[in-house]
Amino acid sequence: MHIVIAPDSFKESLSAPYVAQAIQAGMAPVLPNAQFSQLPMADGGEGFAQSILERLGGERVHCEVTGPDFRPVMASLVINREQRLAVLDVASASGLPLIPHSARNPLHTTSLGTGELIRKALDYDIDEIIVGLGGSATNDAGAGILTALGAKLLDGAGKPIIPTGHGLGALMTLDISTLDSRLRAVTLTAACDVDNPLCGPDGAATIFGPQKGANESHIRSLEQHLHRFASICHYQLGHAIAHFPGAGAAGGIGAALGGLLNAQLVPGVDLLLTRTHAYPLLAQADWIITGEGRVDGQTQHGKVPMAIARIAQSHHIPVVVIAGSVGDNCTPLYQHGVSAIFSIQPGPCEHSEALANTTSNLTRTAENIARLIHLSPN
């Protein structure tokens, strides 16, 4: 029996490699004759660059950049010289875990640091930059990235705006003719974990603002400012950025990269599997175990479990999803190849307790899944 373990990270708790290890630790004693293959995944969010590094090789480069709350942070990117490739995560420079829970407010966060990472990548002899878009603390539509790369975002007095969600409310003029000229010599690819538009009821502010600390008043302001940004891009630059799939990724960074910087937005899981030649490994499995920190209705929109399930379905391979928590609207997952979904929580608990016990809860749940597989006629 060949079991492929292909989970995403459990955000703010365990990276994907550690999740895979915990799952195998629970299953292996029950299925001693099984062959296990660990395939840590990322959909474009936290850990995407690490997944590329582990599968393709390269070197990790560290540098200090502007964090999402404007304090300096140490971020990193991966350089693969052989393939002339740079890979970086928005989460590394502008990620939600970089801000304490009590201080989170996407009105006042910036993607400046991600732009500084891109600028750092341009210092190397590369042909392509891949940016993983998930896990951001921001809702600035990539204003920080554009600013770091040389664009001019000006208010009515001709002064630079503060590149935040709130700062977009003062935007009057956007000039991208001053962007770093080196961008023209590289291919820019965005690994996207969602297909949401920039604006509207399914947009960046409404759907993702609450998890970044926004209340209803904040969301209304952010939505207005995103519409303003999109209108200025349309009327001053001729770029329609509000509604294409993925524009709302990472607080609207998808709109800036795809709509203004000519990046190709690609589903992160597909990109990872293609670049690392991992499809044959999945196709050879008898069972696939995947998962992420929370499984809910959003999972079907580009997240790891859905992508894995669709691949497995084409090969008639059963898929089990393990999650830190299970929310509403999961039924579509069963229609696209998921066989079963398990939460690892043994009962009601505080969020901090759940995070602290992730490894043991994962291992226990994986053991019970292995016992069911052991009873399976397959």
pLDDT digit string, tens, across residues 219-233: 999 999 999 999 999
- Please report the pLDDT score of residue 270 as a whole number: 87
User: Is the domain of 333 the same as that of 256?
Assistant: no
Same domain, 146 and 18: no
In percent, the amount of the chain with pLDDT more than 90 equals: 73
Domain span including residue 259 = 48-269
Model pLDDT, residue 378: 61
CATH number at residue 55: 3.90.1510.10
Q: Domain total for the chain?
A: 2
Q: Are residues 18 and 60 in the same domain?
A: no
Specify whether 261 is located in the same domain as 283.
Answer: no
The pLDDT score that the predictor gives to residue 216 is 96
Q: pLDDT of 120-131, one tens digit each? A: 999 999 999 999
Measured CA to CA, the distance from residue 190 to residue 132 in angstroms comes to: 6
Higher-confidence residue of 317 and 294: namely: 317
- Domain endpoint, select from 269, 297, 312: 269
Asked whether the beta carbons of 108 and 137 are under 8 A apart, the reply is no
Q: Does residue 300 register a pLDDT over 80?
A: no
Domain termination site, one of 202, 236, 269 = 269
Q: Is 230 helix (H, G, I), strand (E, B) or coil?
A: helix
Of the three residues 238, 269, 300, the one that is the final residue of a domain is 269
- Say what angle helices 48-56 and 268-275 make with each other, to 10 degrees: 10
Closest to 44 measured CA to CA, from 167, 157, 133:
133
Question: Can you give the pLDDT at residue 226?
Answer: 97
